[in-house]
Structure 1
Amino acid sequence: MEKFKDNLTEEEFKIEAVEFYNKYKKYEEIFKLIQSKGFIDTLSKLYNLINKNTNKILVKTYKNIEDKKRIIMEKYPMNQYKFIALNEKSEIIEIYDCNKVAAYALISYESEIDFGQYAFLHFINFINGENSKNYKKFEKLIIEKIKNKSILYFDRTISFQSDDNKDERALEEIKNMGYMCVWKNCTVELNIENFDKLQLEVNMKKVKNIDMDYTAIGKIIPSRFENRSNIYEGILQKEKFFINIVNKQDKAFVNFYIYNGKIDDKDYIIEVYKITFKFLSEHNINKLVTFMSPENIILLNNTININILQNIYWLRKQL
């Protein structure tokens, strides 16, 4: 009879094989239990308790359009960010702590001629308030993923109500996290009801696009996601400008776009604002909400009463 390498005869080998099979069948339910999700989750929790909850925080990224659609529809309230989230250069991120989702975030990857290559954090939402204390840990993991894409900067915005007096303390903490403030903008509300009486010639026409060499006053999101659906071009004596308008009854939300070569031209900027105020006032718009830099607020302070609603800071961390 043929011998095998372990010195078992063929007959003995068959007997051992049958015995092993019977043993497996006998404990088949145990094998199924060990492989079940419930058992694995329970074992993971016990492991974390034994090891004093040192389970790693994990990051899961969704890039596929269909996956992102499903998440927006079924998991998280993100409809207002749908246009951004479904872009091919955007990612939805889930952050797991102890095998449970602790936070979710939306990031897009940008490349702008005058602003470099950067990843922009549109938001991070925490499942409960307790998770927010781990923001620094979460951010560190997100940045580790971003670094693999050869991105130079990690950008985000942070905002405060104008009267809550938290800016200084928060900015100091942000600086300690490695951020620098690229610029500060304010959300302002202006009463323009009487500007239709200004002795100014208004030359405004509706257009489809904003010229490439014009920059938004009060940048708060990457340029490609700015709302450019209702655009007007204003013609001045020596230059022009653009505005994007969203009307809501007698109030207008306006973004201003000024020529790159005249960003520091005070006379040009004042004329842009005044002509826009008159144009809107003539079309029965009484209030205007826009983004404005502190410098432009000072510039217009003697022209119109400015109600500052919010301070917004664009932050950047070099990777």
Structure 2
Amino acid sequence: MVTTTAPPSKPSAKVPAQRPKAGLSRKRREALAAYAFLAPDSLGLLIFVALPMVLAFGVAFFKVDGFGNYQYVGLDNYMLMAGDDQLWASLKVTATYVVTFVPIAFVVSFALAMLVRNHFRGIGWVRSAFFLPHVVSLVVVGLIWQFLLVDKRGALSKLLAPFGLSDVSFLGTPSLALGTYVVISVWFVMGYQMLVLLAGLKDVPKELEDAAEIDGASTLQRFRFVIWPLMRPTSFFVVVNSTIGAVTGLQAFDLVYVLTKGGPARATSTVVLYIYEQAFTFNNMGYAAALTTVVVAILVACTGLMFAFTKGGRFDED
């Protein structure tokens, strides 16, 4: 009987253990990339916003003249505000402007966003036309509108001549100047706010609107119960950003300075323009710094109240 023996098996090759890859993990690389993108903007905010705010808070405790002489006066600059009638008048003008401009700009911008949310022929040109005013310098915008509204010789006066309104001075009449300023401001910002709201509308699921339409909801009901709740975060951002811009933004100074310089009869003198006059016309740098800190404090308080009452724009019911 012949027996066969199996050939000796070859030793199995050992699989080398995988070593962890050298270098950073993907999550950490993404975090570093995000910080790298945020760093330039954060550095700019630190240098050009945060640091000047701290310095302004310190200067508010001094009396500073135009020659750089500092005299410590404690809280005297803040005490002067109580009897400053022009300050209270400028605060009243600013408050009137804010409560008029912010809702009108929001409603107009939301309507434009709803208008251009659907694609049709020439939609790109329409969106560009609405956004175009926002990319123009406010100084140029002010000069253009000043040319259009110049008394009796402006283009608008000639257009209104058949209606007997050619003699109306929109920028020279105290009762009309602030309203004219509001209209120009709305025209300037509506394109920017339209694009922000349009981006929010793009995130509203089309399926929800279609389901509501199938259930028999009207256009108004679909807007009220589907679109509006989902648009609350975006709307909150637009309102807060618009409020801050109306109080301290460029249109609160550049536009009014070019158009009326605070006139007529201080009818358009905003608080930012008044601070500018105190600092660079009357050389009251310390008082201007105190005014700035108070305005910032009021703005922070108003923003905090908006966050508290609207839950930061969240649409949940919790």
Q: TM-score, normalised by structure 1?
A: 0.23
Higher relative contact order (CA 8 A, sep 6+): 2
Decide which structure has greater helix share.
Answer: 2
Decide which structure has greater strand share.
Answer: 1
